[in-house]
Amino acid sequence: MSEDAPQLYLISPPEFDLSVFPDQLAAVLDAEQVACVRLALASHDEDRISRAADALREVTHARDVALVIDTHFVLAERLGLDGVHLVDGARSVRKARKALGTDAIVGAFCGASRHEGMNAGEAGADYIAFGPVGATALAGAELADDEIFAWWSQMIELPVVAEGALTGEAIERLAPMTDFFGIGTEIWDAKDPKAALAALLAPIR
Q: Is residue 2 part of a domain?
A: no
pLDDT in tens, 9-57: 999 999 999 999 999 999 999 999 999 999 999 999 999 999 999 999 9
Residue 169: domain span: 7-179
Q: Is residue 42 part of a domain?
A: yes
Distance CA 79, CA 76 (A): 5
CA-derived radius of gyration, the chain: 16
Phi-psi region of 41 (alpha: psi -120 to 50; beta: other; left: phi over 0): beta
Task: Give the chain's domain count.
Answer: 1
Up-side HSE of residue 118: CA atoms within 13 Å toward CB?
Answer: 9
Res 180: pLDDT: 98
pLDDT in tens, 149-201: 999 999 999 999 999 999 999 999 999 999 999 999 999 999 999 999 999 99
Q: Is residue 203 part of a domain?
A: no
Q: Is residue 192 part of a domain?
A: no
DSSP state of 44: -
Q: Is residue 48 part of a domain?
A: yes
Res 3: pLDDT: 62
Q: DSSP letters of 92-120?
A: THHHHHHHH-SSSEEEEE-TT-HHHHHHH
Residues 6+ positions from 47 with CB-CB distance below 8 Å: none
pLDDT in tens, 75-133: 999 999 999 999 999 999 999 999 999 999 999 999 999 999 999 999 999 999 999 99
Q: Is residue 96 part of a domain?
A: yes
Res 140: pLDDT: 63
| CA angle, 143 then 105 then 72, to 5° | 75
Res 141: pLDDT: 74
pLDDT in tens, 49-58: 999 999 999 9
Residue 20 maps to which CATH number?
A: 3.20.20.70
No. of H helices and E strands in the chain? 9, 8
State if pTM tops 0.85. Answer: yes
